[in-house]
Amino acid sequence: MRINVKLVLDIDPHAAWRAVHSPAAFSELYGPLFTMSSMQGDLPTTWEPGSDVPVRLSLAGSVPLGAQLIHVSDRYTEDARGNVRILRDSGVPLTGPLATLRVWDHQMAIAPAPEDVSKTLWRERLVIAGPTAPLLWPALWSIWQWRTARLKALAPTWAHDLPVSDEAPDGTVQP
């Protein structure tokens, strides 16, 4: 079973790529409804390709939902519009209701938006399988709709590059 998302975000693709590797950005994305904490001390600063990070998930920080192993890999490809960067979480649910799934494959593809390369075309796919997938799919689909709304709202705040200015520090304009 699949959940697909496709939208244009008001953030440049480089900043989106940094954010997709940031546990802090994704904690902000899921919060305050869901919280994520590391089972090995602090969350890493970035999701590094090849890393395995076990995390605990909870509802509003108080109702345990289970644990998940996050396994990140990166892939680079091209389409008709140019470069596409893909982060894949192929980790597995370890405990809780999601642990009844045999497959958890979450991919997020980032590329320049077709109409405006300063924005990001965000494509996302979650594939789940297992005996309880038909029961869990409606809840996950609802969470993904809420998550998409949060993504649209928060993405512009993830850009931390300062705007380029033609003005020198002394106030003169550079040619």
Domain count, the chain: 1
In a domain, 10, yes or no: yes
DSSP secondary structure, 3-18, as one string: EEEEEEESS-HHHHHH
Residue at 165 is within a domain: no
In a domain, 43, yes or no: yes
pLDDT averaged over every residue in the chain: 89
Range of the domain at 103: 2-158
Dmax over CA atoms of the chain, in Å, equals 67
Q: Average pLDDT of 70-85? A: 91
The answer to whether residue 174 sits within a structural domain is: no
168 inside domain: no
For residue 136, the domain's CATH number is 3.30.530.20
Residue 90, CA distances (Å) to 26, 51, 60, 87, 157 in order: 16, 11, 25, 10, 27
- Does some domain include residue 172? no
**Model confidence pLDDT, tens digit, residues 93-140:** 999 999 999 999 999 999 999 989 899 999 999 999 999 999 999 999
Q: Tell me which DSSP letter residue 96 carries.
A: S
Task: Please report whether residue 100 resides in a domain.
Answer: yes
Domain assignment present for residue 173? The answer is no
pTM of the predicted protein model: 0.86
